[in-house]
Amino acid sequence: MQTLEIAVESHKKITSLKTDSLWYREVFKTKEESERMARDSMIQRFEFCVDTFWKYFKDHLESIEKITLEIKSPRAIFRALCQARLLNEQETEFAINMVENRNRTSHIYKEEIAEKISSEIPSYYEFMIKIVNRISRV
């Protein structure tokens, strides 16, 4: 998840810059192009981290909690975490929404979807860190 953290921070920095500095012109045609590149990088890292996140908890449920999972989809994993009282209802819904947004970014690429979801990625990142830290201490 460290690569996602770097992407989130880079995206914030690039989008907050006010001027079209010289280094932009050396690498990109426009500031918008650099922002799109940072956003797309963040989305790609988000997709990878979401996949790693739910698979980590699948392994946790099977090996640590000794829960036999009949269905091993991301949604089923998050529901099983809720049943095991490792996530509450609100966190479960947030996690399922995160997976749905991950699927939207990788299967339906549209500029407006990328913009909307990229604005939500920082909160998804914070959520993943919070849950990993909490459950890894259990």
One digit per residue, pLDDT tens: the chain, 138 residues?
Answer: 777 888 888 888 777 765 556 666 666 677 788 888 889 999 999 999 999 999 999 999 999 999 888 888 999 999 999 999 999 999 999 999 999 999 998 776 788 888 999 999 999 999 999 999 998 876
Whole-number pLDDT of residue 92: 97
**Could you give the angle at the alpha carbon of 8 between the alpha carbons of 48 and 6, nearest 5°?**
80
Q: How far apart are CA 61 and CA 48, in angstroms?
A: 20
DSSP state, residue 81:
H
If one counts every other C-beta atom within 10 angstroms of the C-beta of residue 76, the result is 15
Q: How far apart are CA 26 and CA 99, in angstroms?
A: 37
Domains and CATH numbers, the chain: 2-136 (1.20.120.330)
Whole-number pLDDT of residue 24: 61
Residue 137, SS3 per DSSP: coil
